[in-house]
Structure 1
Amino acid sequence: MAFLLGCERARVEFPTKTVFEGVSLGVDEGARIGVVGRNGDGKSTLLRLLAGMVEPDEGRVIRTRGVSVGVLGQADALDGADTVGRAVVGDAPEYEWAADARVRDIIAGLLADVPWDARVGTLSGGQRRRVDLARLLVGDWDVLMLDEPTNHLDIRAITWLAAHLRERWRPGQGALLVVTHDRWFLDEVCTAMWEVHDRAIDPFEGGFSAYIMQRVERDRLADLAEQKRRNQLRRELAWLSRGARARATKPKFHVAAARALIADVPELRNPIELRRMAMARLGKQVVDLEGATVRFGDGPCVLDHVDWIIGPGDRYGIVGANGAGKTTLLRTIQGVQRLTAGRVKIGQTVRFAVLSQHLDELAKWGDDRVRQVIGRYSRRTMLDGKEVTPAQLLERLGFSKADLNEPVCDLSGGQKRRLALMLILLDEPNVLILDEPGNDLDTDMLAAVEDLLDGWPGTLLLVTHDRYLMERVTDHQFAILDGKVRHLPGGVDEYLRLVDERERAAAREAAAGGAGAGGSRGAAGTPAGGGARGAASAAAPGGVAAGDAEAPVTGARLSGGEQRALRKLMASNEKRADTLRGKIEAKRAEMAQADPSDYLALTALQEEIADFEEQIDALELEWLDAAEKLGE
């Protein structure tokens, strides 16, 4: 693999802080690197350093001659007077960019709902972000550096972006560095991770999940080393006080040490206990929507006769495209949205608390310092069945003693979000509504917030485009589709499948209507005068022409014999998987009885278990494929 760029013994220092000290690293062709670390540790500075936008105080940055680098910063440099089209493709004629399938796919994936002729200055912050991302992606770069690319993207756009980055280069070509707190995204696109901490950068192989496993193992080994050092000091102290004693113990190594780390870890949540505590605080009724309908003016219904029961202890995630009605639904649940029809029944004991995207709830504290704000709260709150003081809660959310003297207005975005969440919990609500709570939080703080929410005894409603966070802290997911609230037993993947099916059906209907009506066409199949809108609709996300997309085969198209064969295969796979699981348990029991110093035997048993697990994975994939063909 060819070297593209990197740095040697780089030192970067700001007036109040040294960010990097003696950092040496390189980016080769084919690299797909995720950059993680705490807020303020230098992730964005690292990208700017490698891109040549920041000069090191010591050391040097190296770049192979001719390597082109594209950078997406956290703030765009778009000209507000430009149209969207000019900002994305510049002055290139339409026939030129519209003939490029990759450019059409990018426009369809990111700008389908953004007017092509609109001025950039009139766009919302989220739309500007997508325009800036599209501008970068249409370019031809050897190295892409993306700083928080998923900000302001909905779940579907994030999924499209992950697929685009996976397929943008052939294997072994190009390079990607991405800073993001979206852990699902990191797992999808990255094959290596860099952890930025304490002026240094530690590399890890694999995506985010592999990084977490390696970090846990690294911490375990560090703990063992520290324990060994302490034991040595104790022995030295004993020798000094009593004289040396000849004692020796034979060290023993267990192959399954990593598994032992999580063997006694309980389930994330105890749903029965949390529901019991929630009912004690809420009673049986929380919120019932009965035929709730909301329509603005003469437009279509945002909510169309929605019936939905939210009970004590329910933990629901809500997904939907931007503008689908998520905010309207949350306002309806709180009883503050005026209904066109239907009604909302809210339990008498319900106490709502809302963490908004823009943290409006912190505005009243102004220049007050964190310790002054916390000093106004003497009450304790219940978490994990225990009373927690404000100081303990502050510590769990990653605040240090030095942070207590910071004015609220000077806190970072992540600190403000954590403080707002803490103040909400101290008010002891029993229905918690979180609107994008993961914004501005690094991965460690996201884990801390998730751990906090696991022990919170109440009803939780979560709106987020972070699917990892969504599936981690909620038990059920719901989508807003065509004004209806639809349960998603298959989670976010089911929502994406439903949206894709609807778009393919709409594209087929449009193609059929267009073929019947005729009409002139512009260059590259674009409707005359349609500009980018036509080009964008000509290709569905993923680069497949919308008119050529075929609906997946379902049980309705299969013959009776084919359906019986698929169901027989599914039943057979279930039995075989159960048999293999029994074999795995038997092998694990055999490992527990084996001599822990017999490395060869333990390794052989572990290899057998891994083989059984691979067979189960293959059976499950085959089962899922059959279920999809049956439409189940």
Structure 2
Amino acid sequence: MSILSTEKLSHSFHDRWLFRELHFGMQAGDRIALVGINGTGKSTLLKIMAGVMDPDSGTVVSERGIRVGYLPQEPDFAHLNTIEDFIYSADNKQQQLIKDYERLVESDDYDVDELGRISDELTALNAWEYEHQIKTILNRLQISDFDKKISSMSGGQQKRLALAKLLIDEPDVYILDEPTNHLDIETIEWLEKLLTSGNKTVLIVSHDRYFLDHVCQEIRELDRGEIFQYKGDYANFVEKKAERHLSQVASADKARNLWKKELEWMRRQPKARGTKSKSRIEAFYDLQDKSKAPTEHDKVQLKMQTSRQGSKIMEIEAVSKSFKKSPIISEFTYTFKKGDRIGLAGRNGSGKSTFLNLITKALEPDSGSISTGETTVIGYYKQGGLDFRENQRVIDVVKDVAEHIDMGKDGIITASQLLTQFLFPPEKQFGMVSKLSGGERKRLQLMRVLMLNPNFLILDEPSNDLDMDTLNILEDFLERFTGVLLLVTHDRYLLDKLTDQLFIFDSSGFVNMYNGNYADFKFENDEKLKAEKVNKIKVSEPVVIAEAKPTKSKISYKEQIEYNNLETEIEQTESEITMLSDKLTQVTDHVELSEIAQKIEDLKLELDNKSARWLELAELL
């Protein structure tokens, strides 16, 4: 029996049916990815299944008492003031107790009796583990200042806040719309582990292929109002979809040829319907629908010209930049070469966006210089998108750049022809920007950037909100791109496929240059951390000469639980040390610096003890 399903679900958008009489069912424990091109209705379907939008017709059915958690692309925090107001639900007793406990602990002069009473209640409700879990989630998603106004947060911070709340609430069904947007790679890898632990029921819309492969067991495609199911990973989906597409194209071609013949018959016969074969008329209109199936040309075409590139591209000499006395980039030097394909990596807030603003002259360095070659043409695809006027026509957005575009060997084409190549048919070209989906706006932005024929291409999170088909075509284009490519993305698949060098930002101002892609870097870094952990354990182990004891042959149940818990605790302690180390570079008060340094030393000692105990239990196993 389905834990959550739809019955004859239909919905339209701007007089166009997204889907009609759609069935979509989920069993407990299903982890499903929903994919499809921009504008097909993926986000709309998620909203309807989450109960935040009513369909035009049909119903959503769920098991009694099922709690559905929903993460939208753009969270709405209406009527909420601070982070604390949002995180701790008024109707959740455990969360309210944890909120009161944290408030008391953080205050300078608290009531000891009140703290004891709350502690007793938390113990009675077995809520200490829940309190620890809440802290872990908030730390991972970089949420700490509970008094901060939600309205002052950036879009990325608000998305992380909404995700934190959903994970804290632990719903029965997780419905997530682009959950990896605005997360760094380390946090995405943590989220993968969280969603695959236990028997969670998950429905995800995401462009991140590695994320989908690690989390989901099944892919469902929403295509022209229908759902197509594929078991297995993304590679299997691509293969099976290609087979289905070829079959659909062949069927559509056959239907179009037959429809043309039937069209002649319809025109020759008398207009009065009663004199014609009713069944043949119905068959004619059925053929007409089938003939509108996809053709071989129903995909984005990227064939842009690349401007000629001279010997000097861009030279960065000893560039430094700080904010509020905190170094973001320190003494960075690099000379770009022809064919450079560089990925920018690092945690959120480590300096990647600052670096892009410096080389595009949006910011001036505190010291050092950036010199750009005369023939260098920069194309900058920004994460924030373009500022479109809602009442502006789509074609005018393009004509603002140029009415005719040089396609190199393919000659000159008009703005309308270019829009058609990017899957904007005439009815959308002359429609308003306000009627475009988020993904369609991103596609329009990408087209505007490529129209400049850049030879130095900067892409800041290009995969956010782009559908899989457009992403695949963008990848093919970028593999053929002969200019310099600078890529900022949390999409590990893109980094592995398109880059062969990394600039790694570490939040202290230092930029480490690594030759290789992200998979290479990740493997080497993991091996290095393992070696360091083993060395620390060896150093911390005391040398004791004692009488040999008989080897324990079997681990107890209690020790098994301890072993399992230690793995999580070690990871959490390592994350806390990293977070505090990052904080050291941002604090100027010497007293606070001393306190943080002491806390790091205490945690390192704790980590050594836990690691030693983990190895001891591992040997028993």
Report the TM range for the smaller structure's normalisation.
0.5 to 0.7
1:110 aligns to 2:141 (yes or no): yes
Residue pairs, 1:573-612, within 5 angstroms = none
CA spacing shift, 1:409–1:59, aligned 2, 3 Å: closer
Residue pairs, 1:33-432, within 5 angstroms = 33-78=32-77, 80-84=80-84, 87-88=87-88, 90-93=95-98, 94=101, 96=122, 98-100=128-130, 101-111=132-142, 114-167=144-197, 169=198, 173-223=199-249, 281-299=308-326, 301-335=327-361, 337-360=363-386, 362-363=387-388, 367-375=391-399, 377-382=402-407, 386-387=410-411, 389=413, 390-408=415-433, 410-432=435-457
Secondary structure, in 3 states, of the residue corresponding to 2:318? Answer: strand
Secondary structure, in 3 states, of the residue corresponding to 1:91? Answer: helix
Deviation at 1:382, TM superposition (A): 4.4
Deviation at 1:431, TM superposition (A): 1.6
The Cα offsets for residues 252-280 of structure 1, whole Å up to 9 and x where unpaired, read as: xxxxxxxxxxxxxxxxx9xxxx9xx97x8
Q: Distance in 2 between matches of 1:334 and 1:382?
A: 25
Q: Distance in 2 between matches of 1:212 and 1:323?
A: 35
Q: Distance in 1 between matches of 2:148 and 2:213?
A: 35
Q: Distance in 2 between matches of 1:338 and 1:400?
A: 42
**TM, length-normalised to structure 2:** 0.67
Q: Distance in 2 between matches of 1:366 and 1:8?
A: 35
Of 395-404 and 51-60, the range deviating more from structure 2: 51-60
Deviation at 1:117, TM superposition (A): 4.1
Q: Distance in 2 between matches of 1:187 and 1:304?
A: 38
Q: Distance in 2 between matches of 1:552 and 1:537?
A: 12
Deviation at 1:51, TM superposition (A): 3.0
- 8 Å CA contact 1:326–1:480 kept in 2: the answer is yes
CA spacing shift, 1:398–1:124, aligned 2, 3 Å: same
- 8 Å CA contact 1:81–1:119 kept in 2: the answer is yes
Q: Distance in 2 between matches of 1:496 and 1:107?
A: 24
* Match in the other structure for 1:521: none
CA spacing shift, 1:505–1:387, aligned 2, 3 Å: farther
- 8 Å CA contact 2:39–2:439 kept in 1: the answer is no
Secondary structure, in 3 states, of the residue corresponding to 1:380? Answer: strand
Secondary structure, in 3 states, of the residue corresponding to 2:8? Answer: strand
Secondary structure, in 3 states, of the residue corresponding to 2:465? Answer: coil
- 8 Å CA contact 2:343–2:495 kept in 1: the answer is yes
Secondary structure, in 3 states, of the residue corresponding to 1:282? Answer: coil
Deviation at 1:394, TM superposition (A): 2.4
CA spacing shift, 1:309–1:128, aligned 2, 3 Å: same
* Match in the other structure for 2:607: 548
Deviation at 1:335, TM superposition (A): 4.5
The Cα offsets for residues 476-521 of structure 1, whole Å up to 9 and x where unpaired, read as: 332222323323445334555788899999999xxxxxxxxxxxxx
CA RMSD of aligned residues (A): 4.2
CA spacing shift, 1:535–1:226, aligned 2, 3 Å: closer
Deviation at 1:177, TM superposition (A): 0.5
- 8 Å CA contact 1:104–1:535 kept in 2: the answer is no
* Match in the other structure for 2:22: 23
Deviation at 1:190, TM superposition (A): 0.7
Q: Distance in 1 between matches of 2:252 and 2:151?
A: 57
Q: Distance in 2 between matches of 1:296 and 1:49?
A: 44
- 8 Å CA contact 1:292–1:339 kept in 2: the answer is yes
Q: Unaligned regions of 5+ residues in structure 2, if any?
A: 90-94, 102-118, 260-301, 535-568, 577-602, 613-621
The Cα offsets for residues 546-597 of structure 1, whole Å up to 9 and x where unpaired, read as: 84379999xxxxxxxxxxxxxxxxxxxxxxxxxxxxxxxxxxxxxxxxxxxx
Secondary structure, in 3 states, of the residue corresponding to 2:464? Answer: coil
CA spacing shift, 1:400–1:347, aligned 2, 3 Å: same
| Number of residue pairs matched by the alignment | 480
**TM, length-normalised to structure 1:** 0.66
- 8 Å CA contact 2:138–2:144 kept in 1: the answer is no
CA spacing shift, 1:84–1:196, aligned 2, 3 Å: same
Deviation at 1:465, TM superposition (A): 2.1
Deviation at 1:165, TM superposition (A): 0.7
Percent of aligned pairs sharing the same letter: 32
1:438 to 463, 480, 495: 463
